[in-house]
Amino acid sequence: MNILIAYFSRKGSSLVKGEIIDLAIGNTEVAANKIKTILGGTLFQIETVHPYSADYHACTKEVVQQMNEQARPALKALPESLDAYDVIFIGYPNWCGTMPMPVWTFLSAFDFSNKTLVPFCTHGGSGMGHSESDIKSLCPSAKILTALAIQGTQVGQSDEQIATWLKSLDLA
């Protein structure tokens, strides 16, 4: 089984328990690396041509504007093909109840027929939001497995939670 772990993550200032703190590594990147440690696979970071502001409040304004416009921000790169992969994990922070718009760009770029998609997200208290139904709408021909939502403040201690979830997927 060939696995791709595609993820969007943002470092910089973030709102944590009502306080703005600086994240050297985004929470979703931490989770993606934990999945890779357990399962192996290839990591692919979804990155925009024009990065989001490192400032939390400025970033929030950018995010809301993109959501309102249903923007599909340009990405720095895409995998040439997904043909080599059977299972594609797709990770992201929950922004405004769904995936960040760069993840929409990524998912819109490929045909996921005969692929298994496995969503995971990090969040500040809102879980998966409606991102699972959004993925199903964007990728109707994909097999979509049970998603995992990880509280951002707990991602550093989420090894057991991630391992239990991965085992429950029965990917072997």
Summarize the confidence of residues 120-148 as an average pLDDT.
95
Residue 68 lies in a domain: yes
| Structural domain total, the chain | 2
Burial class (CB in 10 A: 0-12, 13-18, 19+), 61: exposed
Give me the domain span that covers residue 158.
Answer: 111-125+134-167
Residue 163 lies in a domain: yes
Residue 152 lies in a domain: yes
Report the share of the chain in percent with pLDDT over 70: 99
Reported as a pLDDT band with limits 50, 70 and 90, residue 112 is very high
Cα of 129 vs its chain's centroid, Å: 13
Whether the CA torsion 97, 102, 103, 108 is positive or negative: it is: positive
Model pTM greater than 0.75?
Answer: yes
Summarize the confidence of residues 114-140 as an average pLDDT.
95
Residue 144 lies in a domain: yes
- DSSP E strands in 17-136: the ranges are 19-23, 42-45, 87-93, 116-123
